[in-house]
């Protein structure tokens, strides 16, 4: 006789467990960043590799020291923070700049709030913001001419230095396909839209990022570039695309504005978050003192995340609006 009650075990949720762990997600993000890292090394040479290794190493060691753990890789989040920070640095960054930025990203950006899952702001961007405020000259002005292993064109335009946004008349010389591949001035990981997009598709396929944030972010940039850009880059449509490809929009929209910890969890909230990032970025680009505003846009929207979440709680199925 089958004792049916033995099959009707009632336990509390969760009933479905996933094999995903923090470590597996972080590994996926590292894999997604690989094309961009490869492009950085191809475009900017060995200095890019040194900067990335230094940033990742510092981040992992500082986190291990802070948590008093032997396991330096641990959940992998420190490695992701370090690599993302390296992506926002110029290739000519002196070694101490990378080390200070990486250490402050981990300590001030993450650990003082209580570690992974508790940080309010994206740690890599906190590190970058601290570096920009402290050593703005190094972050914008240092020029490192690319050795150009790729024969893209005759002129050496792939230098890390001031982003093309700070000298728009120079940008007019670049064609959109060139910008898409990454043959332009900028930080290590932000120039190649193609490589970033490949990584982004991988993240979407693995289900780690919600398309609403990058689509809202990039869409807002495109529309505002179209409407307000003044068509300086050929025509209005091209100007919109220029604003998407120039600077750090692709990197920020795909990898930083989609951070699991510091962004809203509700679907509508994510759309609002992305659009807000786009609006602030374009406001800084058009009217601000800095040429680029992605860093500050994402940090400011990070601060709004709890409010956005609060106002966009979805209605449960069957719930009736009280006022109706």
Partner 1 sequence: MKESNVYVQDLSRGIIKENPVFRLLLGMCPVLGVTAFLINGLGMGLAATAVLIASNVVVASLKNFIPAQVRIPIFIVIIATFVTIIEMVLQAFQPALYDALGVFVPLIVVNCMILGRAEAFASKKPILRSLLDGIGVGIGFTLALGILSLVREVFGQGTILGPEPESSIHLFGEAFEPMGLFAQPPGAFIALGLLLAINNIIFKKYNL
What is the binding site for partner 1 (CB under 8 A)?
Answer: 100, 108, 112, 130, 133-136, 138
Give me the least distance between CB of 178 and partner 1, in Å please: 34
The size of the chain, in residues, is 324
d(C-alpha 280, C-alpha 287), whole Å: 10
- Identity of the residue, 8 or 133, whose beta carbon is nearer to partner 1 in the bound complex: 133
- Identity of the residue, 138 or 236, whose beta carbon is nearer to partner 1 in the bound complex: 138
Give me the least distance between CB of 184 and partner 1, in Å please: 28
Give me the least distance between CB of 276 and partner 1, in Å please: 22
Give me the least distance between CB of 114 and partner 1, in Å please: 12
d(C-alpha 90, C-alpha 116), whole Å: 27
Give me the least distance between CB of 113 and partner 1, in Å please: 11
- Identity of the residue, 138 or 208, whose beta carbon is nearer to partner 1 in the bound complex: 138
- Identity of the residue, 108 or 226, whose beta carbon is nearer to partner 1 in the bound complex: 108
193 three-class SS: helix
Q: What b/e sequence results for 269-299 when a residue is b if at least 16 CB atoms lie within 10 Å of its CB, and e otherwise?
A: bbbbbbbbbbbbbbebbeeeeebbbbbbbbb
Element (H, E) at 123: helix 123-134
- Identity of the residue, 129 or 171, whose beta carbon is nearer to partner 1 in the bound complex: 129
Beta-bridge partner residues of 144: 160
Contact predicate 187/128, CB 8 Å:
no
Give me the least distance between CB of 302 and partner 1, in Å please: 16
Give me the least distance between CB of 133 and partner 1, in Å please: 5
- Identity of the residue, 134 or 166, whose beta carbon is nearer to partner 1 in the bound complex: 134
DSSP string, 70-82: S-SSTTSHHHHHH
Contacts of 45 (CB under 8 A, 6+ apart): 91, 146, 147, 149
- Identity of the residue, 112 or 307, whose beta carbon is nearer to partner 1 in the bound complex: 112
Please state the separation of Cα 23 from the chain's center in Å: 19
d(C-alpha 105, C-alpha 322), whole Å: 45
- For residue 77, how many C-alpha atoms fall within 13 Å in the half-sphere facing its CB? 21
- Identity of the residue, 117 or 136, whose beta carbon is nearer to partner 1 in the bound complex: 136
Give me the least distance between CB of 27 and partner 1, in Å please: 32
Phi, psi (degrees; rounded to nearest 5) at 146: -75, 140
């Amino acid at each position: 006789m089958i004792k049916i009650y033995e099959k009707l075990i009632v336990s509390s949720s969760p009933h479905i467990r996933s094999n995903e762990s923090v470590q597996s997600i972080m590994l996926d993000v590292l894999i997604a960043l690989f094309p961009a890292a490869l492009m950085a090394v191809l475009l900017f040479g060995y200095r890019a590799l040194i900067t990335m290794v230094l940033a990742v190493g510092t981040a992992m060691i500082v986190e291990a020291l802070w948590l008093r753990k032997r396991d330096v890789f641990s959940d992998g989040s420190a490695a992701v923070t370090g690599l993302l920070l390296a992506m926002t640095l110029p290739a000519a960054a002196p070694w101490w700049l990378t080390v200070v930025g990486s250490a402050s990203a981990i300590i001030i950006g993450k650990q003082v709030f209580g570690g992974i899952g508790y940080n309010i702001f994206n740690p890599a961007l906190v590190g970058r913001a601290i570096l920009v405020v402290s050593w703005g000259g190094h972050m914008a002005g240092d020029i490192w001419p690319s050795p150009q292993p790729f024969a893209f064109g005759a002129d050496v335009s792939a230098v890390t230095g001031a982003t093309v946004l700070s000298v728009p008349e120079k940008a007019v010389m670049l064609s959109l396909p060139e910008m898409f591949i990454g043959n332009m001035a900028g930080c290590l990981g932000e120039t190649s839209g193609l490589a970033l997009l490949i990584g982004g598709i991988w993240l979407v396929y693995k289900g780690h990022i919600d398309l609403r944030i990058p689509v809202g972010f990039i869409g807002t940039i495109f529309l505002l570039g179209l409407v307000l850009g003044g068509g300086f880059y050929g025509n209005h449509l091209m100007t919109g695309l220029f604003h998407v490809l120039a600077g750090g929009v692709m990197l920020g929209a795909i990898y930083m504005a989609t951070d699991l910890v510091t962004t809203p969890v509700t679907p509508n909230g994510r759309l609002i978050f992305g659009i807000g990032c786009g609006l602030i970025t374009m406001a800084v680009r058009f009217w601000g003192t800095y040429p680029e505003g992605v860093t500050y846009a994402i940090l400011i929207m990070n601060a709004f995340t709890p409010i956005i979440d609060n106002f966009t709680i979805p209605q449960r199925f069957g719930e009736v609006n009280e006022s109706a």
